[in-house]
Amino acid sequence: MSDKDKDLPNHLTKGGPGDKFLGAGKVDTSKWFERVDILENQIKDQEIWFCSAPFQQLYTNTKGEWGPCSWAQEDPKGPNIYNTSMEEWFVNNPRLNQLRNEMITPNSDLTVAKTWCQACMKQEATYGRSRRQSSLKIQTNDRGLWLPLRMAVERFKRRGKGSINNRIFEVQIKAFGNECNLDCYMCQPYDSSTRTKTMNDLKMSGQTVFDEHALKNGRELKSIKGETLESMIDQVVKIAPYIYNLKLIGGEPLVMKQFYQLLDRIVKTGEAKHIKVKYQTNMSVLNLEKIKITNFIPEFDLFEFTVSLDSMGKANNYIRRRSNWDDIVNNIKTVSEYPNVKINVNGTISFLSVLRFYELIDWYNNNVEMFGRDTQINWSQIRGPKKLCANVLPRELKEKLIPIYDGFPDIQNVLKESSGKLDYQDTLDYLIQIDNYYKGTKWEMNLFDVFPELQEFYNSTDSGATQVLKNESN
Indicate whether 132 pLDDT > 70: yes
Across 122-242, the runs of DSSP E, i.e. the strands, are 169-173, 183-184
- What pLDDT was estimated at residue 249? 86
CA 129 to chain CA centroid, nearest Å:
15
pLDDT digits (tens, 9 = 90+) for 371-402: 876 788 999 999 889 999 999 999 999 999 99
- Find, among 129, 198, 72, 190, the residue nearest to 414 by Cα: 129
| Percent of the residues in the chain that have a pLDDT greater than 90, as a whole number | 69
Indicate the length of the chain as a whole number: 474
Predicted confidence band at 22 (pLDDT cuts at 50, 70, 90)? confident
Indicate whether 4 pLDDT > 60: no
- What pLDDT was estimated at residue 34? 60
pLDDT digits (tens, 9 = 90+) for 342-374: 999 999 999 999 999 999 999 999 999 898 767
Mean of the per-residue pLDDT values for the chain? 89
- Find, among 353, 352, 333, 349, the residue nearest to 341 by Cα: 333
pTM, rounded to two decimals: 0.81
pLDDT digits (tens, 9 = 90+) for 174-217: 888 889 999 999 999 988 999 999 999 999 999 999 988 778 77
Check if the beta carbon of residue 68 is closer than 8 Å to that of residue 53. Answer: yes
How many CA atoms within 13 Å lie on the side-chain side of 96? 28
- Find, among 90, 58, 53, 59, the residue nearest to 74 by Cα: 59
- What pLDDT was estimated at residue 470? 43
Please report, as a single letter, which amino acid is at residue 309. Answer: L
pLDDT digits (tens, 9 = 90+) for 105-128: 999 999 999 999 999 999 899 887
Beta strands 341-349 and 302-308 are parallel
Residue 206 Rama label (left phi>0; alpha psi -120 to 50; beta) = left
Sign of the dihedral through C-alpha 361, 363, 366, 371? negative
pLDDT digits (tens, 9 = 90+) for 402-427: 999 999 999 999 999 999 899 999 99
Q: Where are the domains of the chain?
A: 5-473
CA-CA distance, 107 to 100, in Å (whole number)?
A: 14
Predicted confidence band at 19 (pLDDT cuts at 50, 70, 90)? low
- What pLDDT was estimated at residue 1? 46
Select the more confidently predicted residue: 19 or 375: 375
22, containing H or E segment: strand 21-23
Residue 295 Rama label (left phi>0; alpha psi -120 to 50; beta) = alpha
Indicate whether 287 pLDDT > 60: yes
CA-CA distance, 109 to 112, in Å (whole number)?
A: 9
Predicted confidence band at 104 (pLDDT cuts at 50, 70, 90)? very high
Q: Which long-range contacts (CB under 8 A, 24 or more apart) does 458-467 make?
A: 458/425, 458/428, 459/425, 463/425, 463/428, 463/429, 463/432, 464/206, 464/207, 464/208, 464/426, 464/429, 465/428, 465/429, 465/430, 465/432, 465/433, 465/436, 467/206
378, containing H or E segment: strand 377-381
Predicted confidence band at 24 (pLDDT cuts at 50, 70, 90)? confident
CA-CA distance, 405 to 411, in Å (whole number)?
A: 7
Residue 112 CB: number of other CB atoms within 10 A? 21
- Find, among 87, 74, 77, 27, the residue nearest to 188 by Cα: 74
Indicate whether 169 pLDDT > 90: yes
- What pLDDT was estimated at residue 134? 85
- What pLDDT was estimated at residue 2? 42
Taking residues 36-57, what's their average pLDDT? 91
Check if the beta carbon of residue 170 is closer than 8 Å to that of residue 245. Answer: yes
Check if the beta carbon of residue 353 is closer than 8 Å to that of residue 347. Answer: yes
Span of 18-22, 72-76, 221-225, 396-400 with lowest mean pLDDT? 221-225
Indicate whether 154 pLDDT > 80: yes
Span of 45-59, 225-239, 422-436, 443-457 with lowest mean pLDDT? 225-239
Predicted confidence band at 7 (pLDDT cuts at 50, 70, 90)? low
CA-CA distance, 161 to 204, in Å (whole number)?
A: 48
Predicted confidence band at 471 (pLDDT cuts at 50, 70, 90)? very low
| Percent of the residues in the chain that have a pLDDT greater than 70, as a whole number | 90
CA-CA distance, 216 to 218, in Å (whole number)?
A: 5
Predicted confidence band at 62 (pLDDT cuts at 50, 70, 90)? confident
Indicate whether 20 pLDDT > 90: no
- What pLDDT was estimated at residue 187? 95
- What pLDDT was estimated at residue 329? 97
- What pLDDT was estimated at residue 128? 79
Indicate whether 164 pLDDT > 90: yes
- What pLDDT was estimated at residue 35? 62
CA-CA distance, 296 to 303, in Å (whole number)?
A: 9
Across 241-351, the runs of DSSP E, i.e. the strands, are 243-248, 276-281, 287-288, 291-292, 302-308, 320-321, 341-349
